[in-house]
Structure 1
């Protein structure tokens, strides 16, 4: 018989006992009540032990669950940090790549302009030289014509 049933039985004995008029007191069978109390004492330690074990097991499960939750949160935070770091590294790499590309484009433009200016200078020199040669030829022809 479990403790709750024994307590219900004890309650029934008290409620069904003979009441003393004007006194809020009840006459009960002492032996019957003592026997129920004895059985409660016998059963109670087992149930208290079981309740204590359940409480301890519950606490252990809660601690394990909290530890597992903490580990999951830690792992998630580490993963997020790694993703952020990768994202930052990617951003830095893209920025550096853009800077290198811009520098290369500027360098190529400067080289094109420099090559064009150099070619223009060479052509100007050739043009001037050709003008001088043409003028010399013209002068020489004029001298030849004047010798007749």
Structure 2
């Protein structure tokens, strides 16, 4: 800031000024000090405006950063909810798949047992028919031989 440089210049003038004997007073060139004070008055409003602008810009940047942070946080929360929801869907789908597999296995077992029972009944029936046929054949043979 130029104002600070000008104030430093005033301090330098006062430090290098001739002092009056037996006092803490110094002799300075009044015109030179007035010239520096006029420059300070000219520059001070510009620097105050610049400082105010910097402060406003800082506030704007902070507000924008907060808005961006809030947006990122909201997006992250939505993504998390979506992932949780997908996880729930996956769990439900796995549970449903397990139910379907169990039901299919039970149905297959039932069908297998039914098929075995059906085959056994057919074989039993065939065995009975064959037994009857064998008995009939034996009876016919006996009749042919004359054994009664």
**Normalising by structure 2, what TM-score?**
0.80
Matched with 1:61 is 61
CA distance in 2 between partners of 1:83 and 1:128 (Å): 66
Give the direction of change, closer, same or farther, for the CA distance of 1:23–1:129 in structure 2 (3 Å limit).
farther
CA distance in 2 between partners of 1:80 and 1:129 (Å): 72
Query: Which deviates further from its counterpart, 103-112 or 37-46?
Result: 37-46
The runs of 5 or more residues in structure 1 that have no matched partner are: none
The runs of 5 or more residues in structure 2 that have no matched partner are: none
The structural deviation recorded for 1:141 is 4.1
Matched with 1:146 is 147
> Given the alignment of the two structures, is residue 81 of structure 1 paired with residue 81 of structure 2, yes or no?
yes
The structural deviation recorded for 1:109 is 2.1
Q: What number of residue pairs does the alignment pair up? A: 147
CA distance in 1 between partners of 2:22 and 2:143 (Å): 166
CA RMSD of the aligned region, Å? 2.6
1:93-137 per-residue CA deviation (whole Å, 9 max, x = no partner) reads: 133123212321221122012111111022112212321342244
Alignment of 1:91-130 (within 5 A): 91-130=91-130
CA distance in 2 between partners of 1:138 and 1:85 (Å): 78
**Normalising by structure 1, what TM-score?**
0.80
Give the direction of change, closer, same or farther, for the CA distance of 1:140–1:5 in structure 2 (3 Å limit).
same
Query: Which deviates further from its counterpart, 59-68 or 82-91?
Result: 82-91
